[in-house]
A and B are shown apart, each in its own frame.
Chain A
Amino acid sequence: QKVSVEVLDHLEHLALVDFRDSEGVERLQKAIEFADQLHEVNTDGVEPMDSVLEDRCLYLREDDVTEGNCTKELLENAREKVEEYFVAPPGNIPLPKLEE
């Protein structure tokens, strides 16, 4: 069962990564076929496992400010900035649709 063009398009928008060519699409098809083997396993009554540490309470620290004031260091790695802002191109412009 082939993945529809609508789904491919949807994936490209969600992932913001393109399939580039038919090879990329083929790769997805194969990945899905591979994953379908999961359905051979009987998981009736089995709870999904999020973490191997599920029996423990994870550490939560106090809501106190202990570090920060590192604006300069953080901005250093950005390509485009103005004063203390990261600069992005205009938003709210949808990506063009995938041509088949």
Chain B
Amino acid sequence: AALKDGLRSQVSAALKEGRVTPTELCQRCLALIKSTKFLNAYITVAEETALKQAEESEERYKRGQPLGILDGIPIAVKDNFNTAGIETTCASNMLKGYISPYNATVVQKLLDHGAVLLGKTNLDEFAMGSGSTDGVFGPVRNPWSYSKQYKEKSVPRSHSADAESKWVITGGSSGGSAAAVSSFTCFAALGSDTGGSTRNPAAHCGVVGLKPTYGLISRHGLIPLVNSMDVPGILTRCVDDAAVLLGSLAGHDPKDSTTIQDDFKPFELPSLTDVSKLSIGIPKEYHAPGLSSEILALWSKAADLFKNAGAKVVEVSLPHTPYSIVCYHVLCTAEVASNMARFDGLEYGHRSAMKDSTESMYAATRREGFNDVVRGRILSGNYFLLKQNYEKYFVKAQKVRRLIANDFVKVFRSGVDVLLTPTTLSDAAPYMEFIQEDNRTRSAQDDILTQAANMAGLPAINVPTALSERGLPVGLQFIGRSFQEKQLLTVAKWFEKQVQFPVIQLEEVKKHDNGAFQHQKSASFS
């Protein structure tokens, strides 16, 4: 089967009919991972266990008893999810060598559905960042840097080293997962989303990135950043696949008391033909400073697309949007200060050789284990939580959070079904340019369009829309009502079908793909 296929329609059918076996699929993905190693998307490749899982899946298919659509499907998981028996590092020295004793609930669920876990993907250290450039294993390279589409648009130069220096970032912090899905080394990947960490790299890598409603998917086993905003994120090549993944992951988990207890029913997405009953909101504050004219034009075109198809398109206002980044800055650093306190070298992770006293051992361990970004956030967070600052900063930020969440409530109450916004301010920046500014500045800039959805706990999805003038992906974001993922994804799927985002043309993939399927014009298969 072609590595580019959608799960539900193509690959699953191929597996069921025996046109391809799970082990073949697994081996091809593993081979592609090896040949795309320069992307640095994977921190750990679990080759042996993956092949074993594939063999077990094959047995099930032979007996005619597959566990479902995901049986035998190769997937990747961001390295901040605990995976039993497999190293989980969070791209930090603090957890180098840490072998998880348990599976995160979402990982367990995927394995229970027969998915094949290929490996752990690269990220910014402890998911702090918007470029996937600040982990100890180095930055992740956007596969589109090596695409025919990007190379064609680059100014040709005689110096061969230029190709090396022109590669662009994936965005972050789930850059490894986005790159893995984008380069066809897996069919879906797990990311995490606290301020946009799934949607941002999805936009830059041209894949679908879904941030579910807070409370829908279990965070048990996801190494926490901000307990009140973190969610596991889903990265796939088409919206239908995201719905499949969501179906297998959502639902109450007794091990995570912040998951809601309502029954969750997995759904198949209808193919909308009539959008006349839909009301799309265009929040004017998302025309943020720094938004590229290209993306602005694309956003406008998308709004027209809905209008011309008969939907009601209205401008709305979310007045506190400009403050979401500042609010996030305070709440995030405060929760980080608390969450990072568990890393003291005693029970797991890195431990310093210092043994003069418990406190000096803790301090040395944390100095050695954390990078500047993490340490900076811990210190800032502690500052905002000091008795003299608590009301002024932390409680104040919590009040502003309510105002931000209320903005959304008001808009949805006025009859809007789904909001349409850009996902990022521009297409992916070259790495050399991106690292000119520090992590906090970058995060503040890049999270501006995605952060508010985390603040309000709302579901949001990036849908790859078009290529920029530089030949790089640009995506648009849909934000939906709480727990209305079906409506959100239905609209996203309709939009995906209209835009027909092009398939990435990568040399490495051509070599490994014995394309048995003819219909590969677009990344979306309905």
Q: Does A2 contact B (CB under 8 A)?
A: no
Interface residues on B, range: 35 or more
**Interface residue range, chain A:** 35 or more
Q: Is the CB of B358 within 8 A of A77?
A: no
Q: Which B residues lie within 8 Å of A35 (CB)?
A: 326, 329-330, 380, 384, 393, 397
Chain B 379-422 interface mask (CB, 8 Å, partner A; 1/0): 11011101000001101111111110100000000000000000
A50 to B522, CA, bound (A): 43
| Chain A residue with Cβ nearest B444 | A34
State how many angstroms separate the Cβ of B183 from the closest Cβ of chain A: 32
Shortest CB distance B353–A (Å) = 10
What are the interface flags for A81-100 relative to B under an 8 Å C-beta threshold, 1 for contact and 0 otherwise? 00000101111111100000
Report A-chain residues with C-beta under 8 Å of the C-beta of B372. Answer: 20, 24, 27
B257 an interface residue at 8 Å Cβ cutoff?
yes
Contacts of A79 in B (CB 8 A): 345, 351
Task: For the complex, give the distance between the alpha carbons of A16 and B361 in Å.
Answer: 9
Which residues from A are CB-within-8-Å of B354?
Answer: 89
**Contact: A49 with B402, CB < 8 Å?**
yes
A15 touches B382 (CB 8 A): yes
A80–B329 contact, CB under 8 A?
Answer: no
Residue of A whose beta carbon sits closest to that of B213: A52
B residues near A31, Cβ cutoff 8 Å:
329, 333, 376, 380, 383, 440
* Chain-A contact segment, one of B232-240, B363-371, B473-481: B363-371
> Which of chain A's residues has its CB closest to B391's CB?
A48
Mark interface residues in A29-52 (1 if CB within 8 Å of B CB, else 0): 011101101111101001111111
- Could you name 30 residue pairs across A and B whose Cβ atoms are closer than 8 Å? A7-B386, A11-B382, A11-B383, A12-B379, A15-B382, A17-B367, A18-B375, A27-B372, A27-B438, A35-B393, A35-B397, A38-B397, A40-B323, A43-B403, A46-B402, A47-B399, A48-B398, A52-B214, A73-B101, A74-B101, A77-B98, A78-B347, A80-B351, A88-B346, A89-B355, A89-B360, A90-B357, A93-B356, A93-B358, A93-B360
